[in-house]
A and B are shown apart, each in its own frame.
Chain A
Amino acid sequence: MAKKPVQLDAKGYRKYGMRDAVAYAAGDLGCNMSFALKGTMAIFWTQFMRMPSVLYAGLLILVQVWDAINDPLIGSIIDNDKRTNYKRGKFLAYIWLGSIGLLVAGAACFIPWVKDATDVIKGIVFVSGYILWDAFYTIANVPYGSLLSLISSDPADRASLSAWRSIGSMVGNMVPMVLLPMLIYDANNNILGERVFFVALLMGAFGFLCFQFMIRNTVIRVEENVQCNEEQEKFNVIKAMGNFLKNRPAVGATVAAMGMFIGMQGSATAVTVMFQSYFKNVSISGLVSMFSMIPIVVFTPLARKMVVKYGKKELATFGSICSVIATALLVVAPISPDGKGILIYILCQLIYALGMGIYSTVSWSMMGDAIDYNEWKNGSREEGTVYSLHSFFRKLAQGMGPSLALIIMAALGYSEVNAGNQLFSVALNMRYLVAFLYLFAAVMQFIGLGLIYNLDKKTLEKMNTELAERHTAQQ
């Protein structure tokens, strides 16, 4: 049978289609094969390795500070890399490099055999493993995020890529989320540390395969180095940071993302402890989270049409309002530690997930638009730096969230010695801590998207029109 001829666009590239979307989704799936385990780290290191919670919280801040420094460094390395002899382009080359390291780097965060060592040794092992994982994750993830604005310049295509990235992220989160609690906890809701290590190795291998699929099926259609009419200025990180802070869309999208990470990532450990000690059934925690993914699954196919009709900012703001309502309900609803309480919790999560789903399907394309905004206002895209600064603040939030939450948990009575069987009074505190952390996340999202992000539908159209005119004039 004759092979179907590849359809080409006006510039001679393979026409954008499902293959690009699925490939891009595979990239986030690959990223999440190691990232998804991050939520298990606090439980692993405090309950299994018996590292004091406050020590772990302190070390986490330390590694996150390094993480945050690490990101813009890698971003500027990529931006300053002007070599043009990469077979598939420099971004894909860096992703390939990162994927090699992530084969084993994820497991390096869960070394169980120093369980009986001193806290100093455990601390060194934790920090070393985390830095190793973080380095390779950043090398893969930073260029991956920038890739969205390079695969296509069409806003509808970018919205589609963002939506499919969310699918990849969702699958990459959902599968471990559902399966991990069933695999790594015993009948008494205590974590089985040795198993976590081997599961991490398996996930690293699968992630590598996902990255390879992505690399082989991605076409770069936008110039990686934009030429401007005026003389190109020397790259300046401080100035780039200044431009970033003046970039309202970037700041708004970042505030929303920071809120999401402080709240959701911060609550991850508290959610696990809540299922261990409040509901006394940690093995279903993944299934409950899966239910809450249903709205995202339902909404994602509709994302592109709804963006065209209503606009990204408008949609995302509506989503954040849904999240605020849902999380306020989480606080006040009578969520008792039994089946009835779990049902109410799931209902609140469904509404919350609807809001999150709406936001997450457009969140990455919002950063793509923010990069365009940079070019519109300042004349240079600096996509590597803008995205890496966005990642910098996200990482900061990702680190601050779990650390702050763990410190609050310790203050509320969480004892790592009690492992999966905390006092009921502590379990009750965790139930409310989870609710308030989610509420905080939702409020931050609303502030970022509704009040700071200023690229509504009309402004976005104007920006894209003017940028297209500039690019045409340059040619």
Chain B
Amino acid sequence: MKKLIAIALIAVMVLGMAACGSVNESEVSILWSGDGIVHVPNSLINAMERAMYIENVDYTHYGANGDQSVQTAQALEALNAGCSALVVELVDSTAAQEIVDAAKAKNVPVVFFNCEVDEAVVSGYEKAACVISDPASIGEVQGTQIFEAIASEKKKVYSFNKDIDRNKDGKVTYLGIGDVATTIETLNTSLIENGLPALESVTEGADASYIAGLIAVDGETSKDNAQLTTAEGASVEMIIVANDAAAKDVLVALQAQGFNSNKLKTHCIPVYTFGNDFDYKAYVLESMPAAPYALDTQVETEIDALNDWWKVNADVESWKAANATICSLYSVDWADLDEFLYTTTDVIGAGRLAGTTMVDFDAIAAAVAESVANLVTGKPVAEQIAKIPYTTN
């Protein structure tokens, strides 16, 4: 028994030492355009922590708080301190050359990410790389996402006729807000290839205010879907939006018509958007009913205080306490506000949005971490400028 225990302890010790030996001892400086603090799970900084951990890279975050001069100073300081690599999310892309020159002088790799950098700047230094989202993929990804949703519903014929083709005329009519041409082209190509009719637009060049002019038509029974129709009788069965700022306006307009409030499942038009930086907190505050003048002033002061507070704190419980006054002013339950706290992806399940196309934080972070790990160990990167396709929720 004693021999057995001794052997076991030695085995554990050896394995432990082996595990320790594989840890990467490089110190990488990650320079963020924001505050460099991890606030929420759905963020690039959180994805970066995960990716760096997988690649066994030790790192330190630095935040520029929107000031390029601060960021450049941080880069120079890190280089002078002997960092093994710089990972930079530029505030101002014109600062790239200065940082590359400084890194080149120290023979230190530099990886830019999530910012547009002149290709000549990156290719001018063999230890430089850039990882960005590929804007050309937005329309394709969004179009594919919507196609998959329609095709999926089409397999369940009943739900397609009920939830997608609301007026059962055999085709889907949509409202496009902003430049959604590539999305529609990709989507219609896929639909036609699969024997489904192409989407048809109810109008061109509209913005969210168009929704206010639509007519809400209830279903025949309380369980049938309601519709939003034009004066000519065309049903808006889907809304495709070019960006989440416009999506906010669309949601406000829909909710003014009694749709997409997640209260009635029959009153929900699928809305597809792009982006996941939607400030839903501000949306909630804006969509609250008007209050008496005295309260407006007080609320305005509260909002300013909250916005300042939000920059340095993201603790939910503290946010609740900080919002208590506003909640009581407008008699809004916390349970309703709670759903608006984070990004677009968090309200998709609540039915307000059917889907979003967004920056693939995980893929960008993984590509950055891999580039850093390769460059620090003297290996080349696959491509100096990596373009990461967008993803969907």
- Given contacts A325-B11, A329-B15, A334-B22, whether A417 and B50 have CB atoms under 8 Å apart is no
User: Once the chains bind, are B316 and A424 in contact (CB under 8 Å)?
Assistant: no
List the interface of chain B (C-beta within 8 A of A): 1, 4-5, 8, 11-12, 15-16, 19-20, 22, 38, 40-42, 46-47, 49-50, 53-54, 316, 333, 335, 338, 341, 345, 349
List the interface of chain A (C-beta within 8 A of B): 50, 116, 186, 188, 190, 277, 317-318, 321, 324-325, 328-329, 332-334, 336-338, 415, 417-418, 421-425, 427-428, 450
User: Once the chains bind, are B49 and A425 in contact (CB under 8 Å)?
Assistant: yes
Interchain Cβ contacts within 8 Å, total number? 61
User: Once the chains bind, are B53 and A428 in contact (CB under 8 Å)?
Assistant: yes
> In whole Å, how far is B2's beta carbon from the nearest beta carbon of chain A?
11
User: Once the chains bind, are B53 and A424 in contact (CB under 8 Å)?
Assistant: yes
Complex Cα distance, B40 from A418, in Å, reads: 8
- Given contacts A421-B41, A424-B49, whether A334 and B4 have CB atoms under 8 Å apart is no
User: Once the chains bind, are B41 and A328 in contact (CB under 8 Å)?
Assistant: no
Complex Cα distance, B345 from A424, in Å, reads: 18
- Given contacts A338-B54, A423-B41, whether A321 and B4 have CB atoms under 8 Å apart is yes
Main secondary structure, interface of B, reads helix
Complex Cα distance, B362 from A276, in Å, reads: 15
Complex Cα distance, B388 from A235, in Å, reads: 75
> In whole Å, how far is B392's beta carbon from the nearest beta carbon of chain A?
11
Complex Cα distance, B24 from A345, in Å, reads: 21
Complex Cα distance, B336 from A116, in Å, reads: 9
In the bound complex, residues from chain A placing their C-beta under 8 Å from that of B54 are: 336-338
- Given contacts A321-B8, A329-B12, A329-B15, whether A422 and B41 have CB atoms under 8 Å apart is yes
Contact of A325 (CB < 8 Å), options: B8, B40, B341? B8
- Given contacts A190-B349, A321-B5, A337-B53, whether A421 and B12 have CB atoms under 8 Å apart is no
User: Once the chains bind, are B349 and A186 in contact (CB under 8 Å)?
Assistant: yes
User: Once the chains bind, are A333 and B53 in contact (CB under 8 Å)?
Assistant: no
> In whole Å, how far is B122's beta carbon from the nearest beta carbon of chain A?
28
In the bound complex, residues from chain B placing their C-beta under 8 Å from that of A116 are: 333, 335
Given A422-B41, A424-B49, 12 new contacts (CB under 8 A): A186-B349, A277-B41, A321-B4, A324-B8, A325-B8, A332-B20, A333-B19, A336-B53, A415-B316, A417-B338, A421-B42, A427-B50
Name the CB-closest residue of A to B43.
Answer: A423
Name the CB-closest residue of A to B38.
Answer: A423
Complex Cα distance, B189 from A194, in Å, reads: 39
User: Once the chains bind, are B19 and A418 in contact (CB under 8 Å)?
Assistant: no
In the bound complex, residues from chain B placing their C-beta under 8 Å from that of A427 are: 50
Complex Cα distance, B26 from A340, in Å, reads: 22
Complex Cα distance, B42 from A50, in Å, reads: 19
User: Once the chains bind, are B46 and A423 in contact (CB under 8 Å)?
Assistant: yes
Name the CB-closest residue of B to A421.
Answer: B41
Complex Cα distance, B21 from A332, in Å, reads: 11
Name the CB-closest residue of A to B11.
Answer: A325
User: Once the chains bind, are B38 and A425 in contact (CB under 8 Å)?
Assistant: yes
> In whole Å, how far is B280's beta carbon from the nearest beta carbon of chain A?
14
In the bound complex, residues from chain A placing their C-beta under 8 Å from that of B16 are: 328, 332
In the bound complex, residues from chain A placing their C-beta under 8 Å from that of B316 are: 415, 417
- Max count, chain A CB within 10 A of own CB: residue among B8, B53, B341, B345: B53
